[in-house]
Amino acid sequence: MARRRMDVADLEIGMDVAELDRPWIDSPFLFQGFVVQTADELELLRETCRYVYVDDDRREEDAEDRTIRLSINMRPQANPERGGAEWRRIAMEERRAGFERELQRMHAVREHARGYVKNLMQDVRFGRAIDTDRARQVVTEMVDTITAQPDAALWLTQLKQAHEYTAQHSINVAVLSIAFAAHLGYGPEQLKLIGLGALLHDVGKMRIPPSILDKPGRLTAQEFEVIKRHPVEGYEIVKGTGDVPPQSLEIIRYHHERVSGRGYPDGLRGDQISTAVLLTAICDVYDAITSDRVYHHGIPADQGLNAMYQMAPSDFGRELVQEFIKCVGIYPVGSLVELGNGAIGVVMTRDPLNRLRPVVMLLRDSRGRDYLPRRFVSLAAQAELDHERDWTVRRVVDARQIGIDMHALAADELLSGGHQVVHI
């Protein structure tokens, strides 16, 4: 189709708008491309943009386009003095509704994965054959949901319980690895191979005596040597099934190798380690250091990212770690944050155009009082609407130190779907 630039003053009803003069996410229109059907849509385009690109070959409006158009027309009228910021906030609410649907979908996928991983651990402990067909099914579900809404998947990786660390860690590393690989541009089939290796990466730990694996104190040199055997143990277990691809097997065997050559089991260095292995290794370490274990408390996500950045030159390569930080966000989804105005909130989704101002669910106001019901705000849009208060993120806070149970919060507010939206 022929595409041409057009001033919004020259737009007419019936024209097919293919591209705006700004990112679609920074407009009140939820999806890219639509046919102008009403005078209200035409007026909204003229208020939002200076010019657009239209396709000269008009297309028929399909069912999804019609639903999107009707949802725009049914929105409450914005205050003309507030302009684009008001529309942006309304659009963000609609995106949030989609996010919550995907959150519940991802929760169901995680529960399926959790059941599989628990059975897997039992099978390995008792020397039974492992079910790799079901592993593939779990990973396919993960790829489908994570690529549809990565923020929902990343949100759930923050909800950790120490007594289920091993199973949760395997799932979290798979989720993070798939999300990171998708961020790097890997295709669906490659994502499945990476996800399969990541989900099974620690299977060899089931051959380690619990007295060593769950030891609360410092390991002896001999005990650490036992731990270091788990990549090879896992590799041999999974390779023995005869139906797991080499790229997935490499992740299992080499996820503790480091670019400096100081990793194990084979002391590989530099280009000897594939990007697929390194990205999984980054996700493995990040989840481990931000999780509670029997022998240490996990550190907050922002500290975890800082630690990863410090490790980068010797362990993973700086460029790859920088990409990981871009993937999970400067304030990772699921982080608890204190705002400049003193309010406390949890990061729900990222804003690609405002990395320092994500979308948050407000939990407490500046005086420590709970927001009931919970309030969802785009910090970027809110800053445009409210110039009297500081809507920047001041710092990431530790949920334990301020008495917030993140797991209970997710169950109560998100997975039950029982909250409502309130504007500030």
Given this model, what pLDDT does residue 94 score? Answer: 62
Where in the chain are all domains bearing CATH 1.10.3210.10? 104-328
For residue 16, the model assigns a pLDDT of: 83
Q: Residues 336, 341, 343, 345: is their CA dihedral positive or negative?
A: negative
Architecture of domain 104-328: Orthogonal Bundle (1.10)
Predicted pLDDT of residue 348: 87
Q: What is the pLDDT of residues 339-372, one digit of tens each?
A: 999 999 999 888 777 788 888 989 998 888 888 7
Residue 408 CB contacts under 8 Å (≥ 6 apart), including other chains: none
Q: How many residues does the chain have?
A: 424
Helix axes 275-289, 165-183, angle to 10 degrees: 130
Instruction: State residue 300's pLDDT score.
Output: 86
Condensed to tens digits (0 to 9), the pLDDT of residues 297-339 reads 888 888 999 999 999 999 999 999 999 999 998 899 888 999 9
Query: Cα separation of 161 and 87, whole Å?
Result: 39
| Nearest-angstrom CA–CA distance, 223 and 238 | 24
Where the chain has pLDDT below 70, the residues are 1-2, 23-33, 40, 57-98, 161-163, 412-424
User: What residues contact 301, with CB distance under 8 A and at least 6 apart?
Assistant: 158, 290, 328, 331, 332, 334, 335, 396
pLDDT of residue 86: 53
Q: Which of 372, 300, 296, 305 is nearest to 338 (CA)?
A: 300
Tell me: cis bond preceding 80? Omega within 30 of 0 counts: no
Q: Kindly give the interhelix angle for 84-125 and 132-148, rounded to the nearest 10 degrees.
A: 170
